[in-house]
Structure 1
Amino acid sequence: MTTATVTPETEVQDDHVYALTELEIQADESCAEEFGPSRLQRGLGLFFFFMVIVFFSWMFSSMESYLTDASKMPMSALIIQGEREYVSDDDIRAVLLQKPTIDNYFSVNVDDIQAKIESLPWVYHASVRKSWPDLLRVYIQEQPVVAIWNDSQLLNEDGIVFDADVNMAPESLVKLYSPDDRIKQALVKYNEFNQLLQLNDYQIMTITVNLRNAITVVLRNGIMLRLGREDALSRIQRYIDYVAVLDKEKIAYIDLRYDTGFSVGWKNDNKE
């Protein structure tokens, strides 16, 4: 009968295999410590990185200080463009000299300058551009004024009221009278009436829209047209069709607030 036994040699062999594996692991750790960065090296790397950041921050700050120094790159030339009748060069210069003044090419804020110029009453739109190395170019578009509103303010073609010297406006401007909430309505009526009347050689002097939306038109020949609240355009056409048979020099007003026909008020006569 054969009996299997475990000899000491077998146990020695197993222990020997385990011992070799542990040595290999220790050797790998030793190599990693030998070739990996030391604490001193890592510290020097972080210090160098920090110094690079400090250097570039200082360089950026110095460059910014240099570029925004008014004595280094001053704005010394100005070009003003655009057809102008009411906005003078002195008006623009006065705006540019307001605080903060324009000193340096890089520090000038064109959006801020544009807003300041557009705050001038007669300026409808402004465009501001910088040109290297010292030129500021300003383009001006004046208000497209179309009427005098309530004798005190001016009205542009967009129906926007602006404050400017009414005495500077052309004498040919129509005068519109209306409540505050009927400004655009009055302008629309003026454009409709004016197109029709100009085709027949008539010019409007004033248009009044009252609180009840009743409309009165005064022509430059002195005749007042009372149009009422409805069918104003067709009533003007009625005036054009029939006024030729009347003596316009003697007419004070024509009341067209009828479905058909009209009544006439004569100068120096209280009777119609």
Structure 2
Amino acid sequence: MSDKAGFSVSASRPGALRGASRRDSLIESRIGSGKSRRLPPWKSVLQIVISLFLLAALVVSAPWLMNWINQPISRVEVHSAFEYLSREQVEKELQPLLQARFFSLDLKQMQAVLLEMPWVKEASVRRHWPDSVQVSLEEQEPVARWGRTHLISNEGEVFTPEDIADFSAMPVLAGAEESATEVMQQYLAISQLLRPMGLRLKTLKRSGSSSWRFTVGHVEVNIGRDRRMERLQRFVRLYHARLESRWQEVERVDLRYLNGASVAWSQTSGKKNQAGSDL
């Protein structure tokens, strides 16, 4: 009886033994796998040596790499209508600034230099890797002379080219420079009014007192300061009614009257001045 009791106390379940064996095996496999992932000392040293070698190669090659990336400028591309400008002029102005390498170019300064050229209205400059610069220009569009030495653009901007001899056939506008835009607008309005009549504006002047006068061929027309459009329309009616047939005999037309005009005829016509004619 006592032997059976001792056996029952010391005996273990087969399932419990198997579970313990599995846990022990799992722990051993984890420990073993950790040992297998740990690199030998010589491999760690080799990795460090390779990394240092690559870093040294990068440091040594950096100047060469930068020189290759940051190349000197070898080409300038200029896009423009070249109606009044020439490519050689543009390149000559930019040449001192092209000594810098690609990434060292001062694009704002280059743009400022271009905008100082009389014929340049708008300018843009940009890099084009690896070794070129692209320049885009918009030229001024002159429509008249401004005084004796200047030109004025279609937007009323006064500029001064080196030589305006080629523009001697253009009409001459005059006035205070701050009134250039207004003078240009008045010129366009009068020209549009005269064009159907076959007349071409030769000069237009705005005086310091804001009085306006212009010449059409050999005839001077004074429209004064006020009610300019009304007086211009009166001039058109007068031209068709009385002046067109004898236009070569007319010297001056003064429209500074309430409802009429004064016409000065040439001496050869034998006709007296007409003042205050109702029109």
Please indicate, yes or no, whether the TM-score normalized by the shorter chain is above 0.5.
yes
Q: Are 1:154 and 1:166, in contact at CA under 8 Å, matched by a contact in 2?
A: no
- Unpaired segments of 5 or more residues in structure 1? 1-51
**Distance (whole Å) between structure 1 residues aligned to residue 265 and residue 202 of structure 2:** 19
**Distance (whole Å) between structure 1 residues aligned to residue 67 and residue 86 of structure 2:** 30
1:150 correspondence with 2:147: yes
SS in 1 for 2:77: strand
Which deviates more, 210-219 or 183-192? 183-192
Aligned to 1:94: 92
Which deviates more, 135-144 or 180-189? 180-189
Change (3 A) 1:251 1:67: farther
CA offset digits 1:32-62 (Å, max 9, x no partner) = xxxxxxxxxxxxxxxxxxxx9xx89x959x8
SS in 2 for 1:75: coil
Aligned to 1:186: 183
Letter in 2 for 1:132: W
Letter in 1 for 2:247: K
TM-score of the superposed pair, with normalisation by structure 2: 0.67
**Distance (whole Å) between structure 1 residues aligned to residue 192 and residue 67 of structure 2:** 56
**Distance (whole Å) between structure 2 residues aligned to residue 154 and residue 183 of structure 1:** 11
Q: CA RMSD in A?
A: 3.0
Q: Are 2:76 and 2:91, in contact at CA under 8 Å, matched by a contact in 1?
A: no
**Distance (whole Å) between structure 2 residues aligned to residue 105 and residue 121 of structure 1:** 27
Superposition deviation, residue 207 in structure 1: 0.5
**Distance (whole Å) between structure 1 residues aligned to residue 102 and residue 165 of structure 2:** 36
How is 1:18-167 mapped onto 2 (pairs within 5 angstroms)?
63=62, 67=66, 73-98=71-96, 100-167=97-164
TM-score of the superposed pair, with normalisation by structure 1: 0.69
- Unpaired segments of 5 or more residues in structure 2? 1-51, 274-279
Q: Are 1:69 and 1:104, in contact at CA under 8 Å, matched by a contact in 2?
A: no
Letter in 2 for 1:154: L
Match for 1:242 among 213, 220, 238? 238
**Distance (whole Å) between structure 1 residues aligned to residue 89 and residue 127 of structure 2:** 19
**Distance (whole Å) between structure 1 residues aligned to residue 209 and residue 136 of structure 2:** 43
Q: Are 2:73 and 2:98, in contact at CA under 8 Å, matched by a contact in 1?
A: no
Q: How many matched pairs?
A: 214
Aligned to 2:194: 197
Aligned to 2:260: 261
Superposition deviation, residue 125 in structure 1: 0.9
CA offset digits 1:144-192 (Å, max 9, x no partner) = 2222222222222332222213525533432111123432322222122
